[in-house]
Amino acid sequence: MLYYLSEFTEHLDVLNVFRYGTFRAAGACLTAFLLCLFFGERVILRLTELKIGQPIRTADEVHKLAELHGGKGGTPTMGGILIVGAVVISVALWAIPTNPFIWALTFVTLGTGFLGFMDDYRKVTRKNSAGVSGRVKLVAQFSIALIAVLFLYLYDHESHGIVRPGELRDELGHPLTVSLFTRQLFVPFLKTPVIQDMGVFAVIFLPIVIVGCSNAVNLTDGLDGLATGCTLTTAAAYAVFTYLAGHSVAAGYLFLPHHPLVGETSVFCTALLGAGLGFLWFNCHPARVFMGDTGSLAIGGMLGMIAICCKQEILLIIVGGVFVIEALSVILQVASFKLTRKRIFKMAPIHHHFELIGWKESKVITRFWIVSILFALVGIATLKLR
């Protein structure tokens, strides 16, 4: 919205700064941070008044964990509304509203955020950890992701006048519409797409990326600030990739997939970065509020969609390495128990395993943050390894 102030530069030259994505990305980050900081205390007090507390599991197999986290019962959850609200408002203010990638990202954020809210609401009203059933949640996630992917799959920006016909072409000389760009598949370390056009397979593969990332972040959200801190490193890394992907010279030099509209998604990345920093102010150990599924499902959906927008879906395995490890630990634990009746870890997700072998919660969180930073740096290093 503020982008359109640049049209009045003839009256005030300084308004020209609103044309630059870097300036607006910085503005979105700062705005989201201040929104979380300003409304955080009010939201926490309101959630406390409504007695929207976090239910702590007390089953036999997690009895020791319940003892470790016993003091967290009643800590307000649904704090993810702070993150989602701050991101959406910041993006609405600072991003170019006609950008199709921004539309898709906003839809996924609000859709997965609402699904998480309903899950949290059921948990707190029923006073247990059973929310929306896993099957219903999975169907809803996939439906949201499918709608967003289909939108980009079918979108023709040339007919909307966003990019002039014939202005942008791929390596084979075909007009590079949003639709064709979305259907390409790139792999880290390679200069050209491994698949130039995934065709209908894109409608299957890309929603899986969003759903998988959404659930991976949800599984990581088990300790104070753990998922939030890992989100910061992932969002920061993708802010770099989305900016470069939208810059023709930089993308050409680094052999990155390029589309002129993708750079705008860096505003979304920095808004998530700012919101994460603001939320961490209240979510750091000992947490005064939890993001709940409202935040974790939305953040995961955002990150998955961001990766799709800049065509770095496979790279998400590296940059979001902590999320991947957390999800894999659950898959391996379940598979092992079903096949051998034995558990690989004391408890999954894996952050609880480290708690149960004697690591303090703050130590687990800090070390996972360190690992997340390293994964993000490795991901950024792939820029020159092609």
Long-range contacts, 217-220 (Cβ 8 Å, 24+): 217/296, 217/297, 217/299, 217/300, 217/303, 217/323, 218/116, 218/293, 218/296, 218/297, 218/300, 219/323, 219/326, 219/327, 219/330, 219/349, 220/296, 220/322, 220/323, 220/326, 220/349, 220/351
**pLDDT category, 165, cuts 50, 70, 90?**
very low
What is the pLDDT, as a whole number, of residue 58? 46
The residue ranges of every structural domain in the chain are: 2-384
Q: Give the model confidence (pLDDT) of 326-376 as tens digits.
A: 999 999 999 999 999 999 999 999 999 999 999 999 999 999 999 999 999
Higher-confidence position of 65 and 228: 228
pLDDT at 54 over 80: no
**Residue 175 pairs with which residues in a beta bridge?**
169
The better pLDDT of the pair 94, 71 is held by 94
- The 10s digit of each residue's pLDDT in 277-286 is 999 999 998 8
Q: Which residues contact 29 (CB under 8 A, 6 or more apart)?
A: 90, 270, 271, 273, 274
Residue 157 confidence (pLDDT): 53
Q: How confident is the model at residue 174 (pLDDT cuts 50, 70, 90)?
A: low
Average pLDDT score over the chain = 89
Specify whether the CB–CB gap between 337 and 343 falls below 8 A: yes
